[in-house]
Amino acid sequence: MEFIDLIRRPWPWYVAGPLIGLTVPTLLLIGNKSFGISSSLRHICAACLPANIPFFHYNWKKEIWNLFFVTGVLLGGFLATRFLENPDAFQLSAATIADLKALGIHDFSGLMPADLFDTANLFTLKGLVFFVFGGFLVGFGTRWAGGCTSGHAIMGLSNLQWPSLVATCCFMVGGFAMTHLILPQLMKLF
């Protein structure tokens, strides 16, 4: 198998999981750094919008490594979608497809169903709910929880932090509630 074929295909959990997990000790060893994506938004705001808001008054330059990391994530995602597209069709279980079809979601061509997240929906009520209101809730929840899922579930849990355990449990409960209780009701509206 060629190298390019190896990186195009999804990696099994027993390879990808440990590689993600190794970011924690690596960051701790190279300078006692904490992993998290949402903190980069704070750093960007502190750098670009130097207002008199106490939340943004800190030495963001000490955390510039995080901005390089997030830039690398964005660049890697762009390169992967442009040049390393998986040749295999996107796969979902038959039960998941049946459940989504029952909700009125019929496009399964990618990770985000176009029935919900198509740019044609952007300036509609559906777009307002899923893009704007949903995005606000994600941002609000991230700030309220003191971090995002990657920061809490990867970094916080591996450091045995009690707040990260509580936050991760709440993320899971929120995801289950959204999937099984709220999304079916929203789909009835649209």
Give 19-48 pLDDT, tens digit per residue. 988 888 888 888 888 877 888 888 888 888
Q: Which residues of 85-111 are buried (b: 16+ CB within 10 A; e: fewer)?
A: eeeeeeeeeeeeeeebeebebeebeee
Q: Is 4 helix (H, G, I), strand (E, B) or coil?
A: helix
More confident of the two residues 88 and 22: 22
Verify that 97 and 189 share a domain, yes or no.
yes
Region 97-126: what's the mean pLDDT? Answer: 82
State pTM to two decimals.
0.76
Region 110-119: what's the mean pLDDT? Answer: 78
More confident of the two residues 57 and 89: 57
Verify that 116 and 38 share a domain, yes or no.
no
| Cα–Cα dist 70/83, whole Å | 20
Q: What is the reported pLDDT for 1?
A: 61
- Is the pLDDT assigned to residue 93 strictly greater than 80? yes
Verify that 124 and 186 share a domain, yes or no.
yes
Last residue of a domain, one of 37, 64, 88: 88
* Number of domains comprising the chain: 2
Verify that 16 and 55 share a domain, yes or no.
yes
Domain region containing 19: 1-88
Q: What is the reported pLDDT for 182?
A: 92
